[in-house]
Structure 1
Amino acid sequence: MAPPLAQWSNPLAMDSDLNDPHSMGTTIIGVTYEGGVVLGADSRTSTGIYVANRASDKITQLTDNVYVCRSGSAADSQIVSDYVRYFLHQHTIQLGQPATVKVAANLLRLFSYQNKNMLQTGLIVGGWDKYEGGQIYSIPLGGTILRQPFTIGGSGSSYLYGFFDQAWKEGMSKDEAEKLVVKAVSLAIARDGASGGVVRTVIINGDGVTRNFYSGDALPLWHEELEPRNSLLDILSAASSPEPMSINFKQALKSSITRICYLFDKP
């Protein structure tokens, strides 16, 4: 077996990634609130190690009141969504009224389960109907269906379970729910290399549907994305100023030098 770094020294090996399937190693979120649901997703689509699309829309409309967040193989999730949208349209014509969220979710579950050996896709269905209000359904790989007050999916979800355990609460307002979704997706973008780009949200309630867009420069920064503060470079640059050295500056400089000596084991 070739060493892992061999592909980086061979341009032809890297080009082979361009033939890989488009994958939405992604972050998708669905949250219920008092009166409706909020869906959110990032926008990065990758092909191997390449970013194939940095602004893809991963929240797809199924009916006027039901949307689905897609993760996994882009082709698989798109074709499943197209089939389900077609059958829901026929269902609406036959009944003379919009399909419920539960019907849409179970149709997606049926397609996913019956083709589980061929599909690589995880879905989150969210919507509102007059019978049960706002609903969120999770359909992971294999075709299981779970109704939950909130759910997360995609590669970025592994960084968010603890965050949601602490941050989610029952009976949130619409604004609180959307802020939670945007904050969570931006946190996953900061940690997960397969998530990135912009954040899109869809708010669904009895008044209709609202779609919002948050560009990358409007998202909160986390961890290593933040500007460094009180670093050694800041201290040394302050030392070159003509102002006299303050006591706090002396203490900070002494502390920084002590840490450097400790790291290099030179007292």
Structure 2
Amino acid sequence: MSALKPGETTIMAVKFDNGVVVGADSRTTTGSYIANRVTDKITQIHDRIFCCRSGSAADTQAIADIVQLHTQMFAVQSEELPPVKAVASIFQGLCYQNKNQLSAGIIVAGVDNVNGPSVYNIPLGGSIHEEDFAIGGSGSSYIYGYCDKVFKAGMSKDDCVEFVKNAVSLAMTRDGSSGGVIRMAVITKDNVERIFVPGNKMPEQYLG
């Protein structure tokens, strides 16, 4: 098997006191060919649980569909919102058990009645990590330093939105496999807000 490589994209999630913010670029590539410049890489798994997908679009869409089914069955049978950790564990099990056949890096983020907001990173290979913020995909290699410097525990919702927007935009300026527009979602216990940032509204980046 060839060495694992990060999915050709940029995905991200960050936690704040009352919720989570997820974000992704929108470029889908087939080799060097841009197959779709406005892909939505943020998938709703349940009312307050989303995932960001990197890697093979076919692999990650199939996994997300399977997890959606399991999550809906759980919600119907238990008559309550599923825990984010349980949903992330299903993703992790599928990714790990099929790690030699899949190209899939997943970030699961959301809010539940047990643990509140939470973010789980499931990189290629199928390990799982609970984090205050998570980044993934090929574009993440370019923004680790920025994220480590800028992230602070206790940031407000607006701070997190700007953090995700700026980080994904920075990755898009450096990573040839990331591009298009930025799609985001702000998830709280009471609401889901989708945010769309077109190419001409990207943050102005100061490099140097």
Q: Which residue of 1 aligns with 2:58?
A: 75
| Corresponding residue number in structure 1 for 2:95 | 112
**Unpaired segments of 5 or more residues in structure 1?**
1-22, 225-267
| 1:102, distance to aligned residue in structure 2 (A) | 0.6
Q: Is this contact kept in 2: 1:24–1:44, CA < 8 A? A: no
Answering whether residue 34 of structure 2 is matched by residue 47 of structure 1, we say: no
Contact 2:81 2:113 in 1 (8 A): no
The correspondence for 2:117, drawn from 131, 134, 137, is: 134
RMSD between aligned alpha carbons?
1.3
Query: What SS class does the counterpart of residue 161 from structure 2 fall into?
Result: helix
Aligned residue in 2 for 1:203: 186
User: Number of residues paired by the alignment?
Assistant: 202
Structure whose CA Rg is larger: 1
Q: Does 1:92 align with 2:75?
A: yes
Alignment of 1:243-258 (within 5 A): none
After superposition, residues 214-233 of structure 1 pair within 5 angstroms as: 214-222=197-205
| Structure with greater strand percent | 2
> What's the counterpart of residue 9 of structure 2?
26
Q: Give the drift of 1:222.
A: 3.4
Q: Is the 8 A contact 2:7 2:104 kept in 1?
A: no
The 1-side partners of 2:186 and 2:77 are apart by 27
Moved over 6 A (4+): none
Query: SS at the partner of 2:121?
Result: strand
Q: Which residue in 1 is equivalent to 2:151?
A: 168
State how far apart, in whole Å, the 1-side matches of 2:186 and 2:174 are.
25
How far the C-alpha of 1:148 sits from its partner, in A, is 0.3
Q: Identical aligned pairs, as a percentage?
A: 49
- The one-letter amino acid paired with 2:47 is D
Q: Secondary structure at the match of 2:46?
A: coil
Determine the C-alpha separation between the residues in 1 that align with 2:131 and 2:144.
Answer: 14
Separation in 2, partners of 1:112, 1:194: 23
SS of aligned partner of 1:142: coil
TM-score in terms of structure 2 length: 0.94
Q: TM-score, normalised by structure 1?
A: 0.74
Classify the secondary structure of the residue corresponding to 2:108. Answer: strand
Higher relative contact order (CA 8 A, sep 6+): 2
| Secondary structure of the corresponding residue to residue 43 of structure 1 | coil
**Any unmatched runs of 5+ in structure 2?**
1-5
Distance 1:90 1:36 in 2: 24
- How many Å apart are 1:63 and its aligned residue? 0.4
Quick check: 1:24–1:46 contact (8 Å CA) kept in 2? Answer: no
The residue that corresponds to 2:136 in the other structure is 153
Alignment check: 8 A CA contact 1:27 1:188 kept: yes
Question: CA shift at 1:24, angstroms?
Answer: 5.5
Give 1 or 2: higher helix fraction: 1
Alpha-carbon contact 2:7-2:103 (below 8 Å) kept: no
Distance 2:189 2:30 in 1: 38
2:164 matched residue in structure 1: 181
C-alpha distance in structure 1 between counterparts of 2:82 and 2:112, whole Å: 8
